[in-house]
Amino acid sequence: MGFWFEEAASPGHRLQWKVIRELYSGTSDFQNIHIVETEEFGVAMILDEIMQTTAGDEFIYHEMLASVPLLSHPHPSRVLIIGGGDGGLAREVLKVPGVDTVVMVEIDPLVIEVARRFLPGHTQSLNDPRLTIQCEDGAAYVRATAHSRDKFDVILVDSTDPEGDGPGQFLYTPAFHTDILGALSPGGIYVQHTGAPFYNPEVLTDVSRDVARQFPICQVYWCAIPTYPGGIFTFTAGSLGPDLTHPQRTAPYPTRYYTPAIHAAAFVLPPFLQELVGPSKDGGTRA
């Protein structure tokens, strides 16, 4: 018999998924990992009791996190992924023409191992020769890159949420954004998700305002993802040159959510999101 997995979106709201069966349960040095088969969204990964990705709707998140910055950059040959151990983001990044080097830095090797076993749709590109996987602290890797000559054209942060004691906490701090700035090539772009604004509005507010303070261009965009609380999910970008609001190129590969029109529309913020982002400061521009 199945059961219901329940996630607390806030003290006053909970989400539930009907689970057909549990496929895996384990604990790494960093977090608890569960793989379940859900009735509505297929196989899903749960980290520390938070639903992270499902086979049913992961394409929305991964296409929007990859295609928006990569198709806004004129020559995104070197790409760094911080986190992303389930493999879905690397799959989308490697579809983009011109990408010849991708480094994925995932702190938890067990996430990669379990994803390879149970999420083949996510991990289909993890053996691509252009991809290097390093299992280490992503924040430390970015800090070292900031002080080296090996810069990246695009840096994408695909991490767990900053709440609690998980490994994603430091990836939402001003110190991390300073290191990101130093790790980018001239004209580079960085993007990270800034969560569900109905339930954790402070994440979007804090990150977007800090990025606007440190980067010449800060732009926020959003999409609708059924799995995540409230449906609306946001991303914050820092750019050293390109304007992300309109793609410079079209995607010569099939997509299930992303289109050039959706790309442009994603930067049109409803008033309540614009209020969270706030006005531009110190020369930063926001969409």
CA distance 180 to 182: 5
Angle of helix 138-146 relative to helix 174-183, nearest 10 degrees, comes to 50
CA distance 84 to 158: 5
Contact assessment for residue 236 and residue 222, using Cβ atoms and an 8 Å cutoff? no
CA distance 245 to 264: 5
Helix, strand, coil percentages, rounded to 5, for the chain: 30, 30, 40
Concerning whether 158 is annotated as a catalytic residue, the answer is yes
Where do we find the tokens 């959510």?
257
Number of C-alpha atoms within 13 angstroms, CB side, residue 56? 15
Contact assessment for residue 90 and residue 150, using Cβ atoms and an 8 Å cutoff? no
- Contacts (Cβ under 8 Å, ≥6 apart) of 12: none
CA distance 167 to 103: 19
Q: Which residue is catalytic, options 48, 86, 153, 158? A: 158
DSSP-based three-state secondary structure for 155: strand
* Amino acid (1-letter code) at residue 139: A
CA distance 24 to 17: 16
| Catalytic positions | 158
